[in-house]
Amino acid sequence: MGSLGDWLKEYVGKRRSRRRSVPVAERFIQFRSIGAANNSFLENLAHLQERGEVGGMRAVVSAYEGLAGPVGAMVKGLVAMTGGRYESLVQRFEDLDRVLSQEVLKARPIEFGPLVMWPSPGTTLHPEEVGPKAARLSQLLGVDGVQVPPFFVVTVYGYRAFVEASGLQDLINELIWDSDFSRSEAIEVFAHEVREAVLASEVPPLLAAALEEAHGRLTEQLDSPWGVAVRSSAVVEDSESSFAGQFESILNVDRAGLLEAYKQVIASKYRPAAVQYALARGFLDQDVGMPVLVMAMLQPAASGVAYSRDPEGSPAAIVTAVPGLAQPLVEGKVTPDRFTVEARGVPAVVGATRGDGSLVLRCEVGHGLVEVPAGAPWALATRQAVEVARLARSLEQHFGTPQDVEWVLDEQGTLWVVQSRPLAGTGLEGAARDMPEVEGYPVLVRGGQRAAGGVACGKVVHWVSPQGRALLPEDTVLVVPTTSPALAGALPRLAAVVAVAGSPTGHMATVAREFGVPCLVGVTDAFTLLPEGEEVTVDAHGGRVYLGRVRELLDRAPRTMTRAARDPVREVLARLVERVAPLTLTDPDSPDFRPEACRTLHDVARFVHQRAMMEMFAADTLSARERRQLHRLTWSRPMDLRLLDLGGGLTANAGKVASLDQVLSVPLLALLRGMADERLSWSGPVGFDLKGFMSVVVRSAADDQRFGEPSFALCARDYVHLSSRLAYHFATVDSVCGKLVNENYARLLFHGGAAIAQRREWRARFLARVLHHCGFNVSHVSDRVEAVLAKRPAAIIEEALVMLGRLMVAARHLDMVMESAATADAFARSFVSGDYGFEMMRRRPG
Amino acid sequence: MSVADFPISVESFPWLVLFGLVVGGLGGFFGVGGGFLMVPMLNVVFGIPYNIAVGSDLGQMCGMSTAATVRHMRFGNIDFKLGALMIAGTALGVEAGATILEILKHSGEVVINGRPVSLMTLVMSLVYAALLIFLGTAMIRESRSTLKRVAGKGDLAVAEAPASPVVLRLRTLKLWPMVTLPASGIASISLWVILIIGFLTGFLSGMLGVGGGFIRMPALVYILGCPTVVAVGTDLFEIMFSSGYGVFTHALKGNVHLVLVLALLVGTTVGAQIGASYTRKAGGPWVRFGFGCLAFLGVIMVAVKLYLQVVR
């Protein structure tokens, strides 16, 4: 017989898997804590899914803890409950948890690496370690015709060493998690506090030593009177974002000021504008590492920014230049000289505009910068401008994309590259360029310089100071004195920007292009031409500003590259919910109901909860010690019932023999109430069937020695597990009946019987009918009935238990009298109508 | 052949304990059914004559059931009135059974195939073989049908099978005298029903050395209508008396071998514990299937033994 082999296999398997038998009381404790954990998991999940306000990252992380915590506890509980089974579930849970906390929440473990790295020709530094700026510069070493000043990098490991050793990271995390960044005041407060903290903290000795040692090596090989430039090289995962000008560069630093400069650069990560920009682009703090570039300082004759081609579409290269250091240029404080260099064929300057040259900065001997009077007519000679353009072109060729190059021409006439990065916002516009003036609208401004193309309409707001930035309404056309990078954070919400001074190659222009915000610079009288509160239409392509809403333009030129400001916290939350909430394990009877098939935390919770219930449900063997702790219930019915108190099920004074009024367990009392129903009959034959009787005789000759054993009930205040042997069948009731509606259930398993199989089936049919009528979820195979009523308030569960109590007594011998399915149905009708003793059936003739 | 004619050697004592252990283990595993094997196996394996096997088995049973009954008595699960009434029938039955065995014991030998065979051995072997065949068949059928149904292969669709034609309604038997059993909550039942049940089980005990509980217990529940708890207690009480009386009457007839009783008592007490701890893990249908097979094995052994006696 093949099935005998199967049985053996299963039997042996069962024995092997039963590693350690856990006492029922202990199992119960685990069972209850699993139940409670399941409930808090479900509540937290519902909370998370329904939540409108996201709050800070802290809220998301603590929400995740509120999910993973309970599920982890559930898994542990199940393992403890089963004496070490389900180890694979532990593995599965840990995998899920790792994926969620690392991929979704970005809580990466700390990696270690060198604090300082040096570039060398032939090897490139990795952007993840040194930041993209330093990595790109390292690629230029040894490239023909390209000069890069010597530099080293304090790596992202150095950065982490700093923020972790100083306790900064904890503080930052605290602050991030507590802040709701949808409110801009929160950003200001956050930025301010972190900056203060960064500047106040000490660079850890190890890092300080490494920095100073490297500085020594750098200056040794230079032998120049100038110091070093300390610049940020922020690591961001989304390299599309420029972070242009968001981070500070400290120029001409000597050894004494080195650590301070380093801290200042780190602190610039938390300038309000930088924070706002990062958030607008969807970065969380952990996404932005902060390697710092330390580069030999050059004394420039001129410096500036070159675009290897015009971001507004024309193939010409654009070179902007100021005398001295480029800082006033990139910060938008001055209007630089601007050269348009036709790069095709023989490069030639095809256009040049004169800057104001109002602010010239140079390096002071030793350290610091000094402002010098403006002198030379042009910052660059035409020849030099062409040389810069050629350099930009060769960098474009080298990197394969249009480049935004920061260059320096030193006093010896050598051209240096200090930064080269992909040019933002190229090739994405062009549809609505150089539009003719639209008739019928007053033109307020003509001849503005296009920094970022596009057309937008909005109300004019004059920007005077950084105060009140939070109050900027949507659709604001902001008029500013200069194109300050400090505006970057506010940019995504603006309709357009009009600047009095500034350069189309400044950082803000880059950011404006990134967000698709039209931007005009060099509008000298902007503050008088554009009165506050006026609705205007800015046509950045045509360099004009119209009064009123110019439909013709707006219709033709929708904002071409609007990248809506994202809410990174909300995105994390969405990803989190996506990997936690779906329930894919639904059918406990399916072969796929196993640990390996759990795909979400919800699956794990469901699996544990179901298995824990089944473990309790199968709690039929008591240890010898537990047998000694049994209380014998004395009550009015001929049923020998032993009780095991698992906590709060009986009064403290209950002895070996307990009376009914010493029972506190709510569900047990409900069951007993049902069993004690006056209408039930406990004695007297219900009927007799010879075949059935012989079947009983045969069956009692083997295997049914449990018949007549006392029934036992495990009980706690809100739990009962009753195994009853009222006759030749097994009946088990298991129920939780407490305050947590989600945890409540009543479950009945009933199988076996005395009569022949057919009659037992009819009894099962009777049971199934009645249970179905009472709202149970019933499954019924052969003589086996399993019924569950779950997630109902305690009162309903109690009522169901009273009914189960009645049913267990009433049905105990019914298998002997079931003559047909119709009898079963008739008995069921009789029971449902309240005739629990089947008086009606008895009176029936025959 | 009385006990005096059948000395049990010191050497065979450990083997008897071991045998008791095995049979006790089977008894523990298979429930009451294990007892069915005790008497024929004592005869087949150790050559112990049936009368001594029956008498000594009853002695062993008496010891076991007394302990259990005392335990139950504390809980008050025994309907003493019912027990007492039933004892009358039981005692008569035991006496009848023992007498038949006694008659067989003294009725000498028959000659089959030119060889003398004790009539008692022949009859008892045949009776036991018949009993084991009946039980074995019934159990295998029972277990197979249960297994089939559990596996979902059963013919559940044919739910409207005709009602069993034989529906005894003993409850309606109003034959005088009627008695009331307050402890069992039974208002009125004919005394004869109780006596008949007692007599039948007693007869099986007296003649075959089995407890008779496998009939009495269902009868108490399904014919008399006792609550299960009371049925269990009363059944144990009844076993104590029927085996007690059985030992008494068999002892008078010289059928109880004290050394054998002792050996069996030791073996079964231990064996039953071991056996019982394994039952629950196996599950009812398979236990019955296993017992069915074992019963047939017993039949074969009995048959072989008889055959060898006749042929050699």
Give the Cα separation of A138 and A290 in Å (integer).
Answer: 17
pLDDT at A623: 72
pLDDT tens per residue across span A487-544: 766 777 788 888 887 777 777 777 777 777 888 888 888 888 888 888 899 888 788 8
Across A529-625, the runs of DSSP E, i.e. the strands, are 535-539, 544-547
Give the Cα separation of A622 and A590 in Å (integer).
Answer: 30
Q: What is the pTM of this model?
A: 0.57
Confidence of residue B154 (pLDDT cuts 50, 70, 90): very low
Q: B23 with B267: CB under 8 angstroms?
A: yes
Instruction: Evaluate the CA torsion angle A818, A823, A824, A830 in order and state its sign.
Output: negative
Residues sharing a CB contact under 8 Å with residue A590, sequence separation 6 or more, in sequence order: none
A449: which strand partners? A521
pLDDT tens per residue across span B80-91: 899 999 999 999
- Interval B235-252 mean pLDDT: 87
Owner of token pair 């008595």: B73
**A11·B282 Cβ contact <8 A:** yes
pLDDT at A669: 94
* Range list of H helices, A582-634: 601-617, 624-628
pLDDT tens per residue across span A172-228: 777 776 777 766 677 788 888 888 888 898 888 889 999 999 999 888 887 788 889
Share above pLDDT 70 across residues of chain A, in percent, rounded to a whole number = 82
* Range list of H helices, A221-271: 258-267
Residues sharing a CB contact under 8 Å with residue B52, sequence separation 6 or more, in sequence order: B1, B2, B3, B6, B255, B256, B257, B260
**A688·B222 Cβ contact <8 A:** yes
Asked whether the predicted pLDDT for residue B1 surpasses 60, the reply is no
Residue type for position A129: E
Helix, strand or coil, per DSSP, at residue A735:
strand
CB-CB neighbors (< 8 A) of A638 in chain B:
184-185, 227-230
pLDDT tens per residue across span A293-326: 999 988 888 999 998 887 766 778 889 888 888 8
The pair of three-digit structure tokens given for residue A468, joined into one six-digit string: 């009140």
Q: Over the Cα atoms of chain A, what is R_g?
A: 40
CB-CB neighbors (< 8 A) of B217 in chain A:
700, 707-708
Nearest to A702 among B30, B156, B218 (CB): B30
Residues 671-710 of A with CB under 8 A from B: 682-710
CB-CB neighbors (< 8 A) of B288 in chain A:
698-699, 702-703
Calculate the CA A80 to chain-centre distance: 30
Asked whether the predicted pLDDT for residue A124 surpasses 50, the reply is yes
Residues 318-337 of A with CB under 8 A from B: none
The pair of three-digit structure tokens given for residue B82, joined into one six-digit string: 């019912």
pLDDT at B148: 65
Give the Cα separation of A307 and A661 in Å (integer).
Answer: 90
CB-CB neighbors (< 8 A) of A683 in chain B:
184-186, 225-227
Instruction: Taking each helix axis as running N to C, give the angle between helix B284-311 and helix A2-17, from 0 to 180 degrees, rounded to the nearest 10.
Output: 120
Asked whether the predicted pLDDT for residue A334 surpasses 90, the reply is no
Best interface-test mutation with B: which of A699, A784, A820, A844 has the largest number of B CBs within 10 A?
A699
Nearest to A639 among B36, B150, B229 (CB): B229
Instruction: Evaluate the CA torsion angle A832, A663, B76, B65 in order and state its sign.
Output: positive
pLDDT tens per residue across span A34-82: 988 888 888 888 777 766 555 666 677 777 888 888 899 999 999 988 8
Q: A448 with A543: CB under 8 angstroms?
A: yes
Cis bond before residue A377 (omega within 30° of 0): no
CA distance A755 to chain B (A): 10
Q: Which of A573-577, B89-93, B273-277 has the highest mean pLDDT?
A: B89-93
**A682·B185 Cβ contact <8 A:** yes
Best interface-test mutation with A: which of B222, B232, B234, B293 has the largest number of A CBs within 10 A?
B222
pLDDT tens per residue across span A594-606: 888 888 888 899 8
**B164·A691 Cβ contact <8 A:** yes
Asked whether the predicted pLDDT for residue A791 surpasses 60, the reply is yes
Asked whether the predicted pLDDT for residue A565 surpasses 60, the reply is no
pLDDT at B99: 93
Share above pLDDT 90 across residues of chain A, in percent, rounded to a whole number = 12
pLDDT at A17: 45
Residue type for position A124: T
Which DSSP state fits A109? P
Residues 720-739 of A with CB under 8 A from B: 725-728
Counted across chains A and B, CB pairs separated by less than 8 A come out at: 180
Cis bond before residue A336 (omega within 30° of 0): no
The pair of three-digit structure tokens given for residue A511, joined into one six-digit string: 């950011």
CB-CB neighbors (< 8 A) of B287 in chain A:
702-703
Q: Which residue of A has its CA nearest to B288?
A: A702
CB-CB neighbors (< 8 A) of A709 in chain B:
232
**B169·A757 Cβ contact <8 A:** no
Residues 580-639 of A with CB under 8 A from B: 620-621, 632, 638-639
pLDDT tens per residue across span A132-162: 888 888 888 888 888 899 999 998 888 888 8
Give me the DSSP letters along A419-485.
EEEEPTT-SS--TT-SPPPPTTS-EEE-SPEEEE--EEEEEEEE--SSTTGGGPPSSEEEEESS--G
**A700·B226 Cβ contact <8 A:** no
Give the Cα separation of A374 and A357 in Å (integer).
Answer: 6
Nearest to A708 among B139, B160, B231 (CB): B231
Q: Indicate the average pLDDT of chain A.
A: 80
**A688·B170 Cβ contact <8 A:** yes
Of A284-288, A347-351, B219-223, the poorest mean pLDDT is in A284-288
Asked whether the predicted pLDDT for residue A561 surpasses 70, the reply is no
pLDDT tens per residue across span B211-238: 777 788 878 877 787 877 788 788 888 8
pLDDT at A843: 54
pLDDT at A780: 84
Give me the DSSP letters along B108-153.
-EEEETTEEEEHHHHHHHHHHHHHHHHHHHHHHHHHHHHHHHHTT-
CA distance B176 to chain A (A): 18
